A and B are shown apart, each in its own frame.
Chain A
């Protein structure tokens, strides 16, 4: 198992290298560069000379190969360089926001898991009864409701009924948990609802499938208590597909919360991403893409390890 994990970690290197090449080329294919965008506002007063000077300051006058190698060598030393737009170190810019985005993703995942597994199981058990219909309506509504829209409703609700708004300033949870949670619980709820809807539907169908399997009938025929039949012989076996869905959603949340962050006025990774793309901030976009790719790869690895932990038939060498 340890050997397997080590191999997977080593395999991350070529994967990330591929991602790096791809994003590097894609960024250069977008028409216009950061210098044009920066000077776009200044109208006719910009001379070719000034632009050339700025390009050379950013290293954009070097050959593409040299730029790429320079960037990759930096990454290999965990040095992501300087944001071309703000001039700040990229690790600083991401560090400012990563905690917030990670916390929302974790809270939304917890919420979704805690909601989805009991609800989906209940729904499967009570298939085609009123309870099942209620759960299904709840989860279809979740699928149909964009998180940002739910977020807007929340904020409007707070304003209209309580004349209150969640705080805008981010406080790390270890500084002041209450202030932190009053700010971040709402976006976590808004995204967690949709997320739980996906996971609930997955749980329902997975549990229904397992309940039809022979070994569940054996468990009942042995005279096990119904609760044990359900938890130990049905839900546990249904966990594999559920974990896959939850893992994918988690990875997505870390980079994909653009609009929700905007609605709640959060300074997160998603917003940073959009701004960086808009500004053609090459180094920043490249770093963020690498980060998201890394999150996806690590999440996948964790899911695979959980698989092996739950299902003894899965054995990695």
Chain B
């Protein structure tokens, strides 16, 4: 296994109402071939902006990538001109969005929306594109794919539309899929079906997946590794199971305490939400960004913003506390 994509010190900012929002503020991570990497964090911490930045899809105005590199197959794709970037999008790296209801064009047939993707990246004709589209619809579990091709998004349920989105994302056999909360808008049973489908397809095709979510239950089940994001930064990074079992950053531990555990009976669980609000990304101070909400905070945390530090092989945390000082059980 090698790195498919390397993100280095990515910084994306938005300029609105005279303010500078540090939406993504120095993020670095790798994606290995064939793995599923989760990005988790509270709403507004910069997950979507990170994913959109990888494909240079940040709308200007108001947003701009001001620094960083995205290395893909030996090239920094942030340096690409518009046409080269276009040829990456949908072909090498594709994206699935959160809202299946609005992410498809309501007035174009499903078939058209699938075939136009193929045609944008190949010289093959309409007929080949059509055959490929039918094949993909069948693959994502849509019954009667040939007939469904002529239908429009409003004739599909939310789960079916998300299947269409997955078919669209996979239709050009990309190497990486960025899935931005692909199941958040769906009800629970459909969620599980869609995630299982994505898992199966990633195993079958060897495609790498970035799975953005704020649901830690999903992380534990479907991801190999995880980036925990807080206020535009990655605060903890490592193997999903290890982090779930033994978080090394107070924010991660707070996140875990705030979601129900699948393997414990509901009645006995005590859910502890993290107190307070994330900081204003337009007015960040000098210290640790989690300081105001942290149960383990110390005096140095107020002024020092700790970098990611390898706490055990393959497990990184941006916290000054060492393992001895930080005991999740002690705090609660």
Contact = CB atoms under 8 A, between A and B. Distances in A.
Given A214-B97, A228-B116, A220 B57 contact: yes
Interface string A226-252: 101000110011000000000000000
B82 A221 contact: no
B120 A223 contact: yes
B106 A313 contact: yes
Interface string B91-125: 10011010100111111110000001100110000
Nearest to B95: A221
A301 to B, nearest CB: 21
B93 to A, nearest CB: 9
Contacts of A62: none
A215 B161 CA distance: 13
Given A214-B97, A217-B57, A218-B97, A224 B117 contact: yes
A237 B107 contact: yes
A228 to B, nearest CB: 7
Contacts of B154: 312-313
A36 interface: no
A213 B153 CA distance: 15
Nearest to B91: A223
Interface string B65-94: 000000000000000001000111111001
A223 B90 contact: yes
A219 interface: yes
Contacts of A209: none
A224 B105 contact: no
B133 interface: no
The size class of the interface chain B forms with chain A is 20 to 34
A215 B168 CA distance: 13
B46 to A, nearest CB: 17
Contacts, number: 78
Contact of A223 (B87, B99, B103, B108): B87
A214 B103 contact: yes
Q: Is the interface of A mostly helix, strand, loop or mixed?
A: helix
A311 B55 CA distance: 30
Contacts of B296: none
Interface residues of A, number: 23
Given A214-B99, A228-B116, A228-B120, A219 B82 contact: no
B86 to A, nearest CB: 5
A236 B107 contact: yes
Contacts of A313: 106-107, 152, 154
B312 to A, nearest CB: 37
> Which residue among A215, A226, A313 has the maximum number of chain B CB atoms within 10 Å of its CB?
A215
Nearest to B51: A221
Contacts of B105: 215, 218-219, 232-233, 237
A68 to B, nearest CB: 47
B82 A226 contact: yes
A222 B116 contact: yes
A223 B88 contact: yes
A190 B135 CA distance: 55
A141 interface: no
B102 A215 contact: yes
A225 interface: yes
Contact of A310 (B61, B88, B95, B107): B107
Contacts of A312: 106-107, 109, 152, 154
A232 B60 CA distance: 21
Given A312-B107, A312-B152, A224 B102 contact: no
A237 B108 CA distance: 9
Contacts of A219: 105
Nearest to A239: B107
A217 B90 contact: no
Interface string A198-224: 000000000000000111011111111
B103 A218 contact: yes
Interface of B: 55, 57, 61, 82, 86-91, 94-95, 97, 99, 102-109, 116-117, 120-121, 152, 154, 165, 168
Given A223-B88, A225-B120, 14 more contacts: A213-B102, A215-B104, A218-B104, A218-B165, A221-B57, A221-B97, A222-B89, A223-B86, A223-B91, A223-B120, A226-B86, A232-B105, A232-B108, A233-B105
Interface of A: 128, 213-215, 217-226, 228, 232-233, 236-237, 310-313
Cβ-closest 7 pairs across A and B: A223-B90, A223-B89, A222-B90, A214-B102, A215-B105, A221-B95, A312-B152
